[in-house]
């Protein structure tokens, strides 16, 4: 919207032991299993009206694999990858080696399962060689980690001591992955190769923002910058870490029967309703809870009685006039409110506080409602045109501000302002 040359990439990382085992459990090959799951994610980006320019898969042998092989060979040539024997505790769910001190009652805190003892000869990346440089980049906010608490967490982790990390697995344990160049008995570690999909296309590197879940942020905040330094590439500018979505205060799982299907949710309530709830109800950097009660309350209070009601009232008031959205606002006080809203909008958006951005827009919606109640344009034939014109202009501004969040609703508002035909945006539940 600001005219910047942007590239928005998402996709699926599909390799690793847990994928291989899950596929076997379901009686499928890893390829068939991954194709099926990846396609559902790809479809979800369309259903949720997400504006990604590309969707990359780590099983893509034409685009992803050549980058991985080139990167591996470069680090190997520079002496940053070497081979040695290793024994450690491996969590299949995390696809990572874990320390005994990080376990709770001998189990991984993320997956509530005991790790497996793995002993084999692997390739290692000289992580320890680059960790002080990574630490400096994080401390000086050259890599800005959002929220601040995650930055503190990762610095604390560094201070505990960082060892070189295993970046391959024996093919005897897992064959599902990118083969190590010139060593077919080894598979490249999923977290080493998956991160490299971000470098496609390279002309947009370094990324302005990496958006990721809290359970994988250490790979992105530590290992990834170290890998980039080894390859003489720049680190991402911002790492934005979000929380989990729970259901009624519990982690979603099939065994609890509390999984919420986003496809069905969109089918029943509409895409913008789902987008609004997830962005408004859930703080950007924390865990958030989904329940149908909360969902419908937000819908009725903010969407039906909020923006939906305001647009309907103003379009109805404008129906019997020749008014249109003018290029300039005559009411200076109202212009000050709009300018203040835009300033707060920009500031909170740059801080990734999406729930607060929407709260700022809804303050302007509330201000419009109060203005209508105060001015009562239906009782003032003389000033009605001026009052309605102010409201039409402001609603046009609100529709612009809503566009990144509720793109369908934004377009519907523009259409109603043009046609002056009022169609309920969000009928009450």
pLDDT score, position 326: 64
- Mark whether 342 and 198 lie in a shared domain: no
Q: Taking residues 363-373, report their average pLDDT.
A: 96
pLDDT score, position 201: 81
Ranges 320-334, 342-356, 390-404: which has the least confidence:
320-334
Q: Taking residues 131-160, report their average pLDDT.
A: 96
- Mark whether 235 and 256 lie in a shared domain: no
- Mark whether 236 and 352 lie in a shared domain: no
- Mark whether 322 and 219 lie in a shared domain: no
- Mark whether 269 and 407 lie in a shared domain: yes
User: Residue 57: how many CB atoms within 10 A of its CB?
Assistant: 19
Range of the domain at 408: 247-419
Residue 301: pLDDT band with limits 50, 70, 90? very high
Q: Within a domain: residue 80?
A: yes
Tell me: pLDDT of 166 over 80: yes
> pLDDT tens digits for 32-59?
999 999 999 999 999 999 999 999 999 9
Does the model's pTM come out above 0.75?
yes
- Mark whether 20 and 101 lie in a shared domain: yes
Q: Give just the sign of the alpha carbon dihedral 150, 152, 157, 163.
A: positive
H or E segment at 410? helix 407-419
Q: Taking residues 80-104, report their average pLDDT.
A: 83
Q: Within a domain: residue 399?
A: yes
> pLDDT tens digits for 60-91?
999 999 999 999 999 999 999 999 988 778 88
Radius of gyration of the chain (CA): 26
Using CA atoms in the order 36, 42, 45, 47, what is the torsion angle rounded to 10 degrees? -60
CA distances in angstroms from 59 to 3, 64, 186, 317, listed in the order given: 33, 7, 17, 56
Q: Within a domain: residue 168?
A: yes
Ranges 36-45, 174-183, 193-202: which has the least confidence:
193-202
pLDDT score, position 338: 95
Q: Within a domain: residue 4?
A: no
Percent of the chain residues topping a pLDDT of 90: 77
- Mark whether 307 and 346 lie in a shared domain: yes
- Mark whether 253 and 142 lie in a shared domain: no
- Mark whether 236 and 254 lie in a shared domain: no
Q: Taking residues 169-197, report their average pLDDT.
A: 93
Taking the alpha carbons at both ends of the chain, their separation in whole angstroms is: 33
Q: Within a domain: residue 60?
A: yes
Q: Within a domain: residue 3?
A: no
Percent of the chain residues topping a pLDDT of 70: 99
Q: Within a domain: residue 428?
A: no
Give the DSSP letter of residue 252.
-
Tell me: pLDDT of 292 over 80: yes
pLDDT score, position 22: 93
Q: Within a domain: residue 2?
A: no
The CATH number that applies at residue 222 is 3.40.50.620
- Mark whether 328 and 210 lie in a shared domain: no
Last residue within a domain, chosen from 242, 266, 294: 242
C-alpha span between 237 and 82 (Å, rounded): 29
Q: Are 189 and 166 in contact (CB under 8 A)?
A: yes
Q: Is the peptide bond before 137 cis (omega within 30 degrees of 0)?
A: no
With a CB cutoff of 8 Å and minimum separation 6, the contacts of 269 are: 295, 299
Ranges 101-115, 117-131, 281-295: which has the least confidence:
101-115
Last residue within a domain, chosen from 211, 242, 273: 242
Tell the residue number behind the tokens 């070497």, with chain if given: 82
The tally of CA atoms less than 13 A away on the side-chain side of residue 115 is 24
Tell me: pLDDT of 123 over 90: yes
Ranges 73-82, 195-204, 249-258, 341-350: which has the least confidence:
249-258
Using CA atoms in the order 54, 74, 93, 28, what is the torsion angle rounded to 10 degrees? 70
- Mark whether 234 and 272 lie in a shared domain: no
Last residue within a domain, chosen from 190, 213, 242: 242
The CATH number that applies at residue 255 is 1.10.730.10
pLDDT score, position 254: 77
Average pLDDT, the chain: 93
- Mark whether 256 and 238 lie in a shared domain: no
Residue 27: pLDDT band with limits 50, 70, 90? very high
pLDDT score, position 269: 96
Residue 252: pLDDT band with limits 50, 70, 90? confident
pLDDT score, position 428: 95
Burial class (CB within 10 angstroms; exposed 0-12, middle 13-18, buried 19+) of 342: middle
Query: What's the structural domain count of the chain?
Result: 2
C-alpha span between 167 and 20 (Å, rounded): 18
pLDDT score, position 102: 79
H or E segment at 301? none
Tell me: pLDDT of 327 over 70: no
């Amino acid at each position: 919207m600001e005219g910047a040359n942007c590239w928005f990439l998402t996709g699926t990382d599909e390799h690793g032991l847990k994928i291989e085992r899950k596929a076997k459990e379901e009686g499928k090959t890893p390829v068939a299993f991954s194709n099926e799951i990846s396609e559902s994610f790809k479809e979800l980006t369309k259903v949720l009206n997400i504006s990604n320019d590309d969707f990359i898969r780590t099983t893509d042998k034409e685009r992803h694999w050549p980058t991985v092989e080139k990167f591996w060979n470069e680090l190997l040539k520079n002496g940053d990858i070497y081979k040695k024997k290793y024994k450690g505790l491996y969590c299949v769910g995390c696809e990572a080696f874990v320390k005994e001190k990080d376990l709770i009652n001998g189990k991984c805190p993320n997956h509530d399962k005991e790790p497996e003892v793995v002993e084999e000869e692997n390739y290692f990346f000289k992580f320890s060689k680059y960790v002080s440089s990574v630490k400096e980049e994080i401390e000086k906010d050259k890599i800005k980690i959002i929220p601040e608490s995650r930055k503190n967490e990762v610095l604390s982790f560094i201070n505990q001591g960082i060892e070189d990390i295993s970046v391959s697995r024996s093919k005897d344990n897992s064959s599902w992955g990118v083969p190590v160049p010139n060593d077919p008995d080894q598979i490249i570690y999923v977290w080493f190769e998956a991160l490299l999909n971000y470098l496609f296309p390279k002309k947009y590197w370094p990324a302005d923002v990496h958006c990721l879940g809290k359970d994988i942020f250490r790979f992105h905040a530590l290992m990834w910058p170290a890998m980039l330094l080894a390859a003489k590439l720049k680190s991402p500018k911002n790492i934005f870490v979000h929380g989990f979505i729970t259901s009624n205060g519990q982690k979603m799982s099939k065994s609890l029967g509390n999984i919420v299907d986003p496809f069905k949710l969109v089918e029943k309530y509409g895409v913008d309703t789902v987008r609004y709830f997830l962005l408004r109800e859930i703080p950007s950097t924390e865990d958030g809870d989904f329940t149908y009660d909360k969902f419908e309350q937000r819908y009725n209070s903010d969407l039906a009685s909020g923006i939906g009601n305001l647009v309907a009232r103003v379009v109805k008031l404008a129906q019997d006039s020749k008014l249109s959205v003018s290029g300039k606002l005559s009411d200076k006080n109202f212009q000050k409110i709009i300018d203040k809203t835009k300033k707060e909008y920009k500031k909170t958006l740059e801080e990734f506080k999406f729930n607060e951005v929407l709260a700022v827009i809804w303050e302007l919606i509330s201000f419009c409602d109060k203005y209508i109640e105060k001015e009562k344009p239906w009782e003032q034939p003389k000033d009605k045109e001026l009052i309605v014109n102010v409201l039409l202009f402001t609603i046009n501004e609100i529709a612009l501000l809503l566009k990144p969040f509720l793109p369908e609703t934004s377009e519907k508002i523009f259409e109603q302002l043009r046609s002056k035909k009022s169609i309920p945006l969000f009928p009450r539940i």
